Amino acid sequence: MTNSTRAIDALSALGDPTRRSIFERVAAGPAAVGALAAGLTVSRPAVSQHLRVLKEAGLVTESAEGTRRIYRIDPRGVGAMRDWLDQHWDRALAAFSDFVDQQVEETP
Q: How many residues sit in the footprint of DNA (CB under 7 A)?
A: 25
Contact criterion met (CB below 8 Å) for 37 and 44? yes
According to CB under 8 A, which one of 1, 27, 38, 39 is a site residue for its own copies?
27
- Would you count residue 63 as binding DNA (CB under 7 A)? no
* Cα atoms in the 13 Å half-sphere on the side-chain side of 4: 2
What track of x and - describes contact with DNA for positions 10 through 49 (by CB under 7 A)?
-----xx-x-------------xxxx-----xxxxxxxxx
Strands (E), 36-100: 60-65, 68-73
Choosing among its own copies, DNA, none, which partner's interface includes residue 96 (Cβ < 5 to 8 Å by kind)? its own copies
According to CB under 7 A, which one of 52, 82, 88, 91 is a site residue for DNA?
52
- Would you count residue 30 as binding its own copies (CB under 8 A)? yes
- Would you count residue 3 as binding its own copies (CB under 8 A)? no
Indicate the burial class of 16 (C-beta count within 10 angstroms; 0-12, 13-18, 19 or more).
middle
Strands (E), the chain: 31-32, 60-65, 68-73
Binding site for DNA (CB under 7 A): 15-16, 18, 32-35, 41-53, 62, 66-69
